[in-house]
Structure 1
Amino acid sequence: MKAAIRRAVAWHPALMTVAAVMVLCAVVSAVGLLVDPRTVLGAPLWAKPLKFSVSILLYAVTWAWLIAHLPRWRRLAHRLGTVIAVSLVVEQALILWAAAAGTTSHFNVSSPLHVVVWGVMAVSITVLYLCTFVTSVALFFLRLPTPALTVAVRLGAMIALGGIGVAFLMTGSTPTQLTSPDGIVGAHAVGVADGGPGVPVLGWSTTGGDYRVAHFVGMHALQLIPLVALALTVLARRVTRLRSDTTQVRIVVIVALAYACGTVLLTLQAVAGQSVVHPSGAVAAVAGAVLLVAAAAVVLTLLRRPAPVLRMT
């Protein structure tokens, strides 16, 4: 067990340290949910720090592992990983500070102090995005144990960049904020005020659009799509038609394309001010079409004559 921990820490000490800190933050936030009844914008005060702790934990571990396996640009990626680690710590520290103070962290410009805090958070997330962009490009030199996993990581990283980028759509002033300034610039929700009825735990608006849906779904493509590749590797032991590397790669590409379409659709749904739990007929139809086409493409791929082993370059 100790040897496994040492190997994991060696992937990228700074990012793995952040992961360990996020475990502690998650525990503190969970305790806060139990003992602190305060709310902010209608949501439990410690729910946001808890969600960010888990998300940052996944992000840090994933990139620590990927950077450690890069055949090229590893030194640059390692340095950028350290910058990412610092940015993540700054972001989470300010979120925890705001929770302890009983106020909002994002979009808050109600006082000079909050202007500085929000400015620092905005800079840190921008730096994180730029560093992630470069390290994502480096993944195109990465070769993992199977071609499907290699392709899954590359496509997942590209989709994740789009998902993270959705966050920048939240930073503009809403029409209400332009006409009646209230110390808040930006919002998660579209068409309704932040803090209304939301999905349990996640808090996504059930009465209007919410950019956080596409942000969350897209950002974690880097974890979910590789899981599809790993699942195919396991299933290949039982399903003969999945033993071809080419077949597995094709299925991963289909899943990734469907996932990307879903992320774009969720973004457009939010822009239209439409809740994710109450899709319009048009949105439901497009979503159904994407799923149907993807399912048909997977079936056709499986019915094809098994292709030869694919050699990655």
Structure 2
Amino acid sequence: MKTWHRPLLLCAGLMSALTLACGVGLVVDERSLLGESVWLKPLKFGFAFALYAATLAWLLSKLAKGRRLGRWVGTIFAVGASVEVAAITVQAARGTFSHFNADQNDPVTLALVPILTYGVMIVLIAQLVIAVTVLIQRTSDAALTRAIRAGLGLATAGMLIPLYWMVTELHPRTVTDAAGRNVPMYQGHGIGDPDGTGIPLTNWSATGGDFRVPHFFALHGIQALLVVAALLAVLGARHAWLRDERVRARLVGSAALGYTGLVAIVTWQAGRGQSLIHPDAATLAAFAAVALVTGCATAWTILAARARRPAVR
């Protein structure tokens, strides 16, 4: 880890500490916002950025081209993410809303809204630059390269999905914060039910669509695909047909295809105002189609590789 990007590692460490602190807050602080603990949002952001910043810290250490650019952009990402989550945490500690808060009478909110607005843009731009930098080079063997490229593409899409929703749909309303104050809001994370909650652990909407669902799945696709690539590499030590990196790359490609299909479906599902846990027949059919295509692609790759097994060394 000595070669990993240090500002991103520091960011991951701070986010991990925040996650633990917010976990304590969930237990000892009874205040809530729209039915969920005031500390749940910074906890989720802290966990997500801890995982993603650590992934980027490792990834940037693998760059063969554009290393200096990668270091600078990684630092910008780390600072932008830290400031963004700090603003969210301040609002949580105050018992009020961070995103979508349109309260013009609260000086702290007025000071933090630009940070929350432009912080997202800074993180997104840094993410785009990192993605392009990685796409122009081969960072490792074919399987890992494919996992990284597909994962970064998914993560970038995951950052764009809520941004698209925020600028294309408005749902002005007035809600009550943890102190009982009326707070005007201009947007929400739900479709059909702007402030819906109810799904255990995540508190995603159980009554309508929720764009936090595709945001989560897409953002963490890179970790899922890296795990697939790592497992294939481990299994390659036991199965001769998996020692060909082209075979592992094709299997990672199949996993990426299936995962992209999953993200597309939950995005479509949320856009139709449908809760993740209440899929209709069309959604179930789409899931089945993605599973079938992914399964067929995977099976074809495995059968073809095993048929060529005598030629693999």
Normalization by structure 1: what TM-score? 0.90
Q: How far apart are 1:111 and its partner, in Å?
A: 2.2
Q: How far apart are 1:80 and its partner, in Å?
A: 0.8
Q: Is the 8 A contact 2:171 2:187 kept in 1?
A: no
- Report SS of the residue matched to 1:203: coil
Counterpart in 1 of 2:116?
121
AA in 1 matched with 2:207:
T
Q: Is the 8 A contact 2:73 2:130 kept in 1?
A: yes
Q: 1:102 aligns with which of 72, 95, 98?
A: 95
Counterpart in 2 of 1:169?
164
AA in 2 matched with 1:233:
A
Q: Is the 8 A contact 1:90 1:124 kept in 2?
A: yes
Pairing of 1:215-230 with structure 2 (within 5 A) = 215-230=215-230
**Alignment partners' CA distance in 2, 1:299 and 1:240:** 17
Counterpart in 2 of 1:26?
19
Counterpart in 1 of 2:126?
131
Counterpart in 1 of 2:257?
257
Q: How far apart are 1:183 and its partner, in Å?
A: 1.8
Q: Is the 8 A contact 1:174 1:187 kept in 2?
A: no
Give a deviation string over 1:120-175, Cα, whole Å, max 9, x none: 21111111111111111111244344320111111111111111111203424756
Q: Compare 137-146 and 57-66 and name the one that shifted more.
A: 137-146
- Is residue 12 of structure 1 aligned with residue 13 of structure 2? no
Counterpart in 1 of 2:248?
248
Q: How many positions carry a matched residue from both structures?
A: 301
**Alignment partners' CA distance in 2, 1:23 and 1:192:** 31
Over the aligned positions, Cα root-mean-square deviation in angstroms equals: 2.1
Taking a change above 3 Å as real, the CA distance of residues 104 and 306 of structure 1, as seen in their structure-2 partners, is: farther
- Is residue 306 of structure 1 aligned with residue 299 of structure 2? no
* Off by >4 Å, runs of 4+ in structure 1: 173-176, 178-182
- Is residue 160 of structure 1 aligned with residue 155 of structure 2? yes
- Report SS of the residue matched to 2:237: coil
- Is residue 71 of structure 1 aligned with residue 61 of structure 2? no
Pairing of 1:37-48 with structure 2 (within 5 A) = 37-48=30-41
**Alignment partners' CA distance in 2, 1:193 and 1:267:** 16
Taking a change above 3 Å as real, the CA distance of residues 172 and 302 of structure 1, as seen in their structure-2 partners, is: same
Q: How far apart are 1:247 and its partner, in Å?
A: 1.2
Q: Compare 108-117 and 286-295 and name the one that shifted more.
A: 108-117
AA in 1 matched with 2:301:
T
Q: How far apart are 1:50 and its partner, in Å?
A: 1.0
Q: Compare 271-280 and 10-19 and name the one that shifted more.
A: 10-19
Q: How far apart are 1:70 and its partner, in Å?
A: 0.5
**Alignment partners' CA distance in 2, 1:122 and 1:225:** 30
**Alignment partners' CA distance in 1, 2:67 and 2:169:** 42
- Is residue 183 of structure 1 aligned with residue 187 of structure 2? no
**Alignment partners' CA distance in 1, 2:174 and 2:117:** 23
Unpaired runs of 5+ residues, structure 2, are 176-181
**Alignment partners' CA distance in 2, 1:90 and 1:179:** 27
**Alignment partners' CA distance in 1, 2:115 and 2:255:** 37
- Is residue 269 of structure 1 aligned with residue 269 of structure 2? yes
Q: Compare 298-307 and 68-77 and name the one that shifted more.
A: 298-307
**Alignment partners' CA distance in 2, 1:215 and 1:73:** 28
Q: How far apart are 1:193 and its partner, in Å?
A: 2.9
Give a deviation string over 1:61-111, Cα, whole Å, max 9, x none: 111111111011110111111111110111111111011100111110112
AA in 1 matched with 2:308:
P
**Alignment partners' CA distance in 2, 1:46 and 1:173:** 28
**Alignment partners' CA distance in 2, 1:60 and 1:142:** 21
**Alignment partners' CA distance in 2, 1:111 and 1:306:** 68
Pairing of 1:191-206 with structure 2 (within 5 A) = 191-194=192-195, 196-206=196-206
**Alignment partners' CA distance in 1, 2:98 and 2:174:** 22
Unpaired runs of 5+ residues, structure 1, are none
Q: Is the 8 A contact 1:172 1:186 kept in 2?
A: no
Counterpart in 2 of 1:90?
83
AA in 1 matched with 2:268:
L
Q: How far apart are 1:221 and its partner, in Å?
A: 1.1
